[in-house]
């Protein structure tokens, strides 16, 4: 068991203990507020990316050839990566094929990944900012709901149900943190972290599913094409799928 396993188990256990203390209603309201904040980030992050990629200064910061995220991580891309890094890269490479691949864009897989991971790092930053903004609003709503619906003491059944709901929230928090920590995967100093994550059976199982889901649903084809155009690549032939 790696220290990553211990951290994940501790987060879930803490969520369960808080749920046991608060009871069903308070914990359920807390879970709903958390879920709403995450869903808001999920649904509007792509629109935010499209908007920001249209701003020249931001586009240069993320995708430019000079001092940019892309130039920072370009030399660190390893197509032979294994474990959680591979779990992050593979779905993105599949998405590259979906929008035409190297034949359409004239960019190698390494070049695409350097651009895609720049976008991913930028996405994580945007998501964190959006999450905290949405969380503040959700917390205010949750406070009002607790005043309306929470009255009297907390019984044993309520505490047990709250513990279960709290564990669910703890699991969701752990999954969110695994998304956030992927921010550092392309950077050289991340190796001790990724090695520990690879040793964790819990993390490997979650990341294989989570990273594929996020890659398939977080970035639209339009956003990926804007990303490639922003990096100076031009599509020279239509998608293969349009000819079928």
Does residue 238 belong to any structural domain of this protein? Answer: no
In a domain, 95, yes or no: yes
- Asked if 17 and 9 touch (Cβ cutoff 8 Å), the reply is no
pLDDT at res. 244: 47
Determine the pLDDT at residue 68.
77
User: In whole numbers, what is the pLDDT of the chain averaged over residues?
Assistant: 86
- Is a pLDDT exceeding 60 seen at residue 162? yes
Please say if the pLDDT value at position 153 is more than 80.
no
Residue 18 binned pLDDT confidence (cut-offs 50, 70, 90)? very high
Whether residue 239 is contained in a domain is answered as: no
Residue 241 counted as domain residue: no
Q: Is the whole-model pTM more than 0.85?
A: no
Q: Establish if 240 belongs to a structural domain.
A: no
User: Mean pLDDT, to the nearest integer, of 47-74?
Assistant: 80
Q: What percent of the chain has pLDDT over 70?
A: 95
pLDDT in tens, 86-121: 999 999 999 999 999 999 999 999 889 988 888 888
Question: Domain tally for the chain?
Answer: 1
Instruction: Examine residue 117 and state whether it is found in any structural domain, yes or no.
Output: yes
Q: Which domain, by its residues, includes 22? A: 3-232
Mean pLDDT, range 53-67, rounded to an integer: 81
Q: Find the range with the poorest average confidence among 102-106, 200-204, 236-240.
A: 236-240
Does residue 244 lie in a domain region?
no
Of the given ranges (13-27, 146-160, 221-235), which has the lowest mean pLDDT?
146-160
Query: Distance (Å, rounded) from C-alpha 97 to C-alpha 92?
Result: 9
Alpha helices in the chain (DSSP H): 3-22, 24-53, 56-63, 69-73, 83-98, 101-105, 109-149, 156-181, 191-199, 201-218, 221-230
């Amino acid at each position: 068991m790696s220290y990553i396993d211990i951290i994940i188990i501790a987060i879930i256990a803490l969520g369960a203990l808080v749920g046991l203390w608060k009871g069903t209603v308070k914990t359920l309201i807390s879970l709903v507020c958390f879920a709403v904040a995450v869903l808001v980030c999920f649904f509007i992050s792509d629109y935010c990316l499209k908007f920001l990629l249209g701003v020249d200064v931001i586009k240069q910061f993320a995708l430019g050839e000079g001092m940019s995220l892309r130039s920072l991580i370009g030399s660190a891309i390893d197509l032979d990566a294994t474990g959680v890094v591979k779990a992050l890269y593979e779905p993105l490479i599949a998405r590259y094929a979906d929008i035409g691949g190297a034949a359409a864009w004239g960019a190698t897989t390494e070049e695409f990944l350097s651009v895609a991971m720049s976008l991913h790092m930028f996405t994580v930053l945007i998501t964190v900012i959006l999450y905290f903004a949405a969380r503040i609003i959700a917390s205010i709503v949750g406070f009002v709901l607790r005043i309306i619906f929470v009255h009297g003491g907390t019984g044993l059944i309520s505490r047990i149900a709250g513990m279960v709901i709290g564990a669910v929230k703890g699991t969701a928090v752990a999954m969110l943190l695994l998304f956030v920590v992927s921010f550092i995967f392309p950077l050289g100093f991340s190796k001790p972290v990724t090695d520990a994550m690879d040793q964790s059976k819990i993390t490997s199982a979650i990341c294989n599913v989570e990273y594929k889901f996020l890659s398939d649903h977080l970035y639209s084809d339009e956003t990926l094409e804007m990303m490639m155009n922003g990096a100076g690549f031009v599509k020279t032939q239509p998608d293969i799928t349009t000819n079928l």
